[in-house]
């Protein structure tokens, strides 16, 4: 159930609705909208009677939400969610470009790549300090030292930074440094991590689980929103299929489906989908044509020396071409001018 308040509803009227919801043993979750507040009724055991709310002062309507992902659903919030990070807005009809190496390896590597991607048109810098690696013997990331390097990159270049959190134990640390906290594919259904992300004051970039349906992905986002963090960005990064010609299969149909089902922004990561450099540019063009809200791309100035994911990392000049092409395509396909 969603209680939609009048545009002119007062704080007292909203408070009264919250009280009625709580007296019924449910949780009230106010959802700030473009011009009015709506209040989601959560944790109800059975159907909630709309008559409880209709007629209360300041209440415009009370509508049942049919989707299992209540707060994430467009039913609960028809207008797009905009996530503001520094001067950048994700979800507003522009194409946000997020780029950087898979892992922060040292300060000079991070700075060189950051300057190069910024010059080509990237808006945000990404790099892992805590890396989820298939093998325990592979490079695991620099940990806090990597986060400190990210902070220096932000200071030097002005770009907000995106980095991954792998567990609850390091969440406090990661959110101190990150402008956007990434939750990776392997953790999409790590429910205790999702709950912790819901208590974060940072936006969360939630990657799709490599075997997750869109409904499971949206339910994972619901975990974050149900705890009060409304700044969630979804990231399509490919799903596991039977093919051998790429690491995963990029599911571009997720873009229109997510946009229909949810008000949350969706960005596309063609690098982890492809696993190989030669597919990243065509997949990026396709994602821009499908009007994703952003792209997240791995770039390395010396991919053959990268400590992780070198095979899928673009050379800086390839990334420059990518920016040029995707911006042109995005414009033709209905997107706005970048920021």
Per CB under 6 A, residues contacting ligand PEP are: 102, 128, 132, 184-185, 207, 237, 272
Nearer to ligand PEP, 128 or 265 (CB): 128
Residue nearest to Mn ion (CB): 102
The yes or no reply on residue 281 touching Mn ion (CB under 5 A) is: no
3-state secondary structure of 85: strand
Q: What is the DSSP letter of 249?
A: B
d(CA 319, CA 131) in angstroms, rounded, equals 23
Radius of gyration (Cα) for the chain, nearest Å?
21
The dihedral through the CA atoms of 132, 152, 156, 94 has a sign that is positive
Give min distance, CB of 126 to ligand PEP, in A: 7
DSSP 235-278: EE--B--S-SSSSSB--TTHHHHHHHHBSS-EEE-HHHHH-SHH
- 250 close to 217: Cβ distance less than 8 angstroms: no
Residue carrying the six token digits 């049919």: 66
Task: Name residue 31's beta-bridge partners.
Answer: 38
Least separation in angstroms between residue 271's CB and Mn ion is 7
From the list 59, 102, 104, 161, which residue makes contact with Mn ion (rule: CB under 5 A)? 102
Whichever of 237 and 259 has its CB closer to ligand PEP, that residue is 237
* Residue span 185-224 as binding mask against Mn ion, x where in contact by CB under 5 A, dash where not: ----------------------------------------
Q: How far is the CB of 308 from Mn ion (least distance, A)?
A: 6
C-beta closer to ligand PEP: residue 36 or 133 = 133
Residue from the set 250, 292, 309, 319 that interacts with Mn ion by CB under 5 A: 309
Q: Which two tokens stand for residue 318?
A: 């390839």
Q: Which is nearer to ligand PEP, 132 or 143 (CB)?
A: 132
CA distances from 264 to 156, 206, 260, 288 (A): 30, 11, 10, 17
Size of the site for Mn ion (CB under 5 A): 2
Cβ neighbour number for residue 141 with a 10 Å cutoff: 25
Of all residues in the shown chain, the one whose CB is closest to ligand PEP is: 184
Nearer to ligand PEP, 237 or 263 (CB): 237
Q: Indicate the residue among 184 and 270 with the shorter CB distance to ligand PEP.
A: 184
Report yes or no: 227 and 195 within 8 Å, Cβ to Cβ. Answer: yes
Positions that interact with Mn ion (CB under 5 A): 102, 309
């Amino acid at each position: 159930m969603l209680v939609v308040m009048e545009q002119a509803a007062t704080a007292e009227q909203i408070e009264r609705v919250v009280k009625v919801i709580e007296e019924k043993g449910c949780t009230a979750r106010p959802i700030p909208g473009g011009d009015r507040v709506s209040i989601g009724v959560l944790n109800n055991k059975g159907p909630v009677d709309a008559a409880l709310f209709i007629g209360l002062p300041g209440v415009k309507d009370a509508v049942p939400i049919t989707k299992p992902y209540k707060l994430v659903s467009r039913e609960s919030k028809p207008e797009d969610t905009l996530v503001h990070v520094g001067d950048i807005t994700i979800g507003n009809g522009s194409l946000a470009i997020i780029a950087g190496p898979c892992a922060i390896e040292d300060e000079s590597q991070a700075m060189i790549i950051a300057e190069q991607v910024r010059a080509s048109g990237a808006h945000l810098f990404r790099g892992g300090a805590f890396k989820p690696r298939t093998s325990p013997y592979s490079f695991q990331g620099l940990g806090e030292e990597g986060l400190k390097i990210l902070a220096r990159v932000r200071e030097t270049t002005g770009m907000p930074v995106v980095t991954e959190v792998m567990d609850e134990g390091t969440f406090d640390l990661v959110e101190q440094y990150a402008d956007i906290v990434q939750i990776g594919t392997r953790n999409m259904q790590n429910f205790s991590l999702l709950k912790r992300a819901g208590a974060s004051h940072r936006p969360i970039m939630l990657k799709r689980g490599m075997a997750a349906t869109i409904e499971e992905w949206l339910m994972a986002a619901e975990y974050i929103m149900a705890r009060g963090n409304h700044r969630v960005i979804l990231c399509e990064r490919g799903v596991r299929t039977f093919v051998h010609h790429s690491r995963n299969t990029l599911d571009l149909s997720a873009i229109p489906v997510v946009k229909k089902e949810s008000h949350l922004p969706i960005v596309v990561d063609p690098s982890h989908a492809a696993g190989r450099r030669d597919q990243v540019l065509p997949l990026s063009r396709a994602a821009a044509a499908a009007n994703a809200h952003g792209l997240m791309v791995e770039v390395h100035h010396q991919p053959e020396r990268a400590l992780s994911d070198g095979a899928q990392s673009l050379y800086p000049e390839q990334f420059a071409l990518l920016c040029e092409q995707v911006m042109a395509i995005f414009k033709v396909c209905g997107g706005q001018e970048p920021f």
